[in-house]
Amino acid sequence: MRPGQDMEKRRFPSRFAERLYPYVSIYASRNMAVLAFFGFSSGLPIGLTGVMLQAWMAHTGIAVRTIGVFALIGVPYTIKFLWSPFMDRFTPLRLGRRRGWLVPVQLALLGGIAALAFCPPSESLLALGLIALFVAFASATQDIVIDAYRTDILTDEERGAGAAVSVTAWRIGALVSGGAGLILADHLGFPSTYLLMAALMLLGIGAALLAPEPDGRTKAPKTMGEAVWGPFKDFFARSGAVKLLAAVVLYKLGDAYAETLSTVFLLNLHFSLTEVGEINKVLGTAATIGGAAIAGGLMVRLGLFRSLLAFGALQIVSILSFMVLALAGKSYPLMTFAVVFEKLCAGMGTSAFIALLMSLCNKRFTATQYALLSSLASLGRVFVGPSAGFIVEYAGWANFFFFAAVAALPGLVLVYHLKAEITGEREH
């Protein structure tokens, strides 16, 4: 046996390992480790201004109508594209155009989250609301920069895996703040828990200081006018721009329909709260993370275009599994399969979709273009909620899920007809 063959044998102890290697090796890079820390830092503030804040107010006897008003704290996440041009135009620190924004924003988040600990709802409700709004603003700004950093740093082949790592780490961060945070608050109190969560932001700050800066040869916009209007001119100068925007809006529409009332549907079938929590939330979250990870590996071989088609088709099939459950009635095994299968496919579709958004961005305007595209993609989710309830009321659950599957078809058809534009983006 030649030395080279022996080396290969030691490297791949079995044929299965040899075949698996290309799909998992993509995750073994410095970029993926950095994105894991950034994803965690991105997901962490969500629960602190949402679930945790609501629980703290309810625990101290704040009226439900007041707690409801605090939902407006989430507005910065939906309008973050308004200030994203500043992230493209200016570089506040010498760390580079992306990290130069990321470090001060993360420091602001650390300070803001810590400040929440000193504003008990029963004594400082206005201050609590204003600081929480500041945290949400800083968090949305952090998302802008992290999305731009991820888009700028990853190669075409790494985008699927990078999206998977980001999705997984984001969910872990949100679970730590919105899930583990409540458990800690029950034992340590809310102020101590907020201080602990603030300290966790040091992970993201450390990663930002040690992370490589994306290629500095990309020229930033020279003026604010160029930073604001340049992203639009650049995008609409490409072939099939309007169809690409339509695909961005429609690709995840069917999946958004299916998920909007999934919990209500399972409860309507008389599954217990514990059963729904265990399957829909715990196993469902694990399946979403697993789907994202699988998709990241598969995209190395399939490429972006074929991944969008394959994962989009799987999303449609998975939605139909809920229709089967609706027709069959209460069945714990069938419910488990439907939820896990749908979440798995949704995770795969999300990874491919994020990779698509990254591929559509010009690195001169990444912050603005990604923020705009992601906001546009959320439009479908915003409007499906009200209509979903009416469809269920007039057509029933089985027909609702059939409609959700049909709603996913236009996005898939658009992707199919945009092969040249999508593969062309990957070649530039």
Rounded to whole angstroms, the Cα distance separating 69 from 51 reads 14
- HSE at residue 358, side-chain half, CA atoms within 13 A, is 28
Please state, for a pLDDT cut of 90, what percent of the chain lies above it: 53
pTM confidence score: 0.86
Rounded to whole angstroms, the Cα distance separating 16 from 20 reads 6
Decide if 15-215 and 227-427 have a common fold. yes
Q: Do the Cβ atoms of 398 and 268 come closer than 8 Å?
A: no
Answer whether residue 5 shows pLDDT above 50: no
Could you tell me how many residues make up the chain?
A: 428
Answer whether residue 175 shows pLDDT above 50: yes
Closest CA to 164 of 356, 300, 297, 30: 297
Rounded to whole angstroms, the Cα distance separating 139 from 21 reads 36
The CATH architecture of the domain made up of 15-215 is Up-down Bundle (1.20)
3-state SS class at 154: coil
Q: Do the Cβ atoms of 316 and 258 come closer than 8 Å?
A: no
Report the pLDDT value the prediction gives residue 382, as an integer from 0 to 100. Answer: 66
Report the pLDDT value the prediction gives residue 425, as an integer from 0 to 100. Answer: 44
Report the pLDDT value the prediction gives residue 130, as an integer from 0 to 100. Answer: 95
Report the pLDDT value the prediction gives residue 270, as an integer from 0 to 100. Answer: 85
Residue 74's contacts (CB-CB under 8 Å, 6 or more residues apart) are: 49, 50, 136
pLDDT tens sequence across 294-312: 998 888 888 899 999 999 9
pLDDT tens sequence across 333-363: 999 999 999 999 999 999 999 999 999 999 8
Report the pLDDT value the prediction gives residue 11, as an integer from 0 to 100. Answer: 58
Answer whether residue 135 shows pLDDT above 90: yes
More confident: 175 or 201: 201
CATH of the domain spanning 227-427: 1.20.1250.20
Report the pLDDT value the prediction gives residue 155, as an integer from 0 to 100. Answer: 86
Rounded to whole angstroms, the Cα distance separating 353 from 359 reads 10
Residue 270 backbone class (left: φ over 0; alpha: ψ -120 to 50; beta: rest): left
Report the pLDDT value the prediction gives residue 12, as an integer from 0 to 100. Answer: 62
Show me where the domains of the chain are located.
Answer: 15-215, 227-427
Answer whether residue 81 shows pLDDT above 50: yes
Burial of residue 154 (number of CB atoms within 10 Å: 0-12, 13-18, 19+)? buried
Closest CA to 268 of 179, 400, 382: 400
Q: Do the Cβ atoms of 385 and 202 come closer than 8 Å?
A: no
H or E element, residue 198: helix 190-210
Closest CA to 295 of 204, 159, 397, 185: 159
H or E element, residue 112: helix 99-116
Answer whether residue 10 shows pLDDT above 80: no
Q: Do the Cβ atoms of 263 and 280 come closer than 8 Å?
A: yes
Query: What is the arithmetic mean of pLDDT over 103-127?
Result: 95
Report the pLDDT value the prediction gives residue 4, as an integer from 0 to 100. Answer: 41
Query: What is the arithmetic mean of pLDDT over 134-155?
Result: 94
Query: What is the arithmetic mean of pLDDT over 42-60?
Result: 90
Q: Which two tokens stand for residue 319?
A: 């939605």
Answer whether residue 13 shows pLDDT above 50: yes
Q: Which two tokens stand for residue 367?
A: 């912050």
Rounded to whole angstroms, the Cα distance separating 365 from 372 reads 11
pLDDT tens sequence across 243-265: 999 999 999 888 888 887 788 88
